[in-house]
Amino acid sequence: MSINTHITMGVASQKYLHRTGGWLSLNPMNSSPVPRRNFIRCGALAAIGFPFVTSLTSAARAEENDPRKLGFALVGLGGLSTGQLAPALQKTKYCRLAAIVTGTPSKIPVWKDRYQIADKNVYNYDTMEKMADNPDIDVVYVVTPNALHAEHTIKAAKAGKHVLCEKPMDVSVEKCQQMIDAVKKADRMLAIGYRCQFDPNHLECRRLATDKVFGELTTIEAGFSRPITATEWRVKKELAGDGPLMDVGIYALQTCRFTSTREPIEVTAKFGPVTEPDKFKEVEQSVEWEMTFPGGLRTKCQTNYERAGGNAFTVTAERGTFGLNPAYNYNFARGTRSDGQSINLPAINQFAAEMDDFAQCIMNKKTSKVSGEEGLRDVKIMLAIYESARSGKPVKLA
């Protein structure tokens, strides 16, 4: 079936995905590299548990200052940093929250008090360069709007820090390449915040695919959507790059690449109708796309900002199906297989796992599996999806 025959956004697309065996949920989702740090001299690290606390006890503070942990600076204290990353840092083995970067002075006392952050470890976006003189900070975690990622990553690299950057890496190939080049020039490491690549149930789906438990893969259907308000930076092209594909559709794209361990060779895409023109003046409201992979695998994905829903994927192989639903919630995914078995490995904190993995990559001088190059690949594919949606023609990928 050609993409044009089924890409009609809204109810029609949900019906299509259901009809074709997909089970997309309609439920809402709810500079030294470290050589100067003592932990490197200590050799292999012991696994140190760190209790989750919202207000640090003195014992926890002592552990928090453990020199064997990498000091993280969070850049941008919005929803993700506040609700997920700072709490997750308290659960990591190899990381600690050492510093903050914010443009909102009223947030400073709250964060200082909650996480015992010293005055000297508080920065704003214009003073990030001064981090070069601060040995408390090893890693800068960039959590600002998409189109500011390159600017903040490059500032951190120039200050001699490793960088973990939220997805999408940035909004153009040129800026992503500048990020890779800046971090390389500083002899630091770069990783992108693809939390699902650390989730045991996503990894299990990848194993089912690579071990060919149900035979060769034939199709993958994936979707992730969420509603947004008209006041968010997400509706401004200058800050967001574009719409839901850059924000949440990227998870569906990641599923296709990560689960199949293949790279797409062609994309075909179509924008859905704009039903809220006042809100979606600058970015798309919805998009559906198909990708062709080597070996005949075809994938069908959708994303939108209209409503909560589409938080799942289904993989179809020669002798059965498997997938996750919900797939993309924070720290929780589960699913089923067509042979009746469940995919329900114990949940982990995906963000803590992602940060610990990066810390271990830095300590062991090993390239992250969620490297800058991995982030750049997604940006190239997303730009090809937009090109196809605009031209109405398939776009080949190199």
- Cα separation, 239 vs 170, in Å, equals 10
265: amino acid identity, one letter: I
- 334 close to 344: Cβ distance less than 8 angstroms: yes
- 88 vs 395, which CB is nearer to ligand NAD? 88
What is the Cα 244 distance to its own chain's centre? Answer: 13
- 64 vs 170, which CB is nearer to ligand NAD? 170
Q: Least separation, in Å, of the C-beta of 235 and ligand NAD? A: 12
Q: Least separation, in Å, of the C-beta of 164 and ligand NAD? A: 11
Q: Least separation, in Å, of the C-beta of 167 and ligand NAD? A: 6
- Cα separation, 302 vs 312, in Å, equals 11
Mind telling me the catalytic residues? 167, 251
Q: Least separation, in Å, of the C-beta of 15 and ligand NAD? A: 28
Angle at 327 between CA 321 and CA 24, to 5 degrees: 65
Sign (positive or negative) of CA dihedral 314, 317, 322, 324? negative
- 93 vs 195, which CB is nearer to ligand NAD? 195
Which residues form the interface with ligand NAD (CB under 6 A)? 76-80, 103-104, 143-146, 148, 166-167, 193, 195, 233, 239, 247
- 123 close to 100: Cβ distance less than 8 angstroms: yes
- 85 vs 317, which CB is nearer to ligand NAD? 85
Partners of 314 in the β-ladder: 221, 323
- 272 close to 288: Cβ distance less than 8 angstroms: yes
- 146 vs 286, which CB is nearer to ligand NAD? 146
- Cα separation, 155 vs 130, in Å, equals 10
- Cα separation, 221 vs 219, in Å, equals 7
How many CA atoms, within 13 angstroms, populate the side-chain half-sphere of residue 146? 26
Q: Least separation, in Å, of the C-beta of 166 and ligand NAD? A: 4
- 303 close to 319: Cβ distance less than 8 angstroms: no
Which residue number places its CB atom closest to ligand NAD? 78
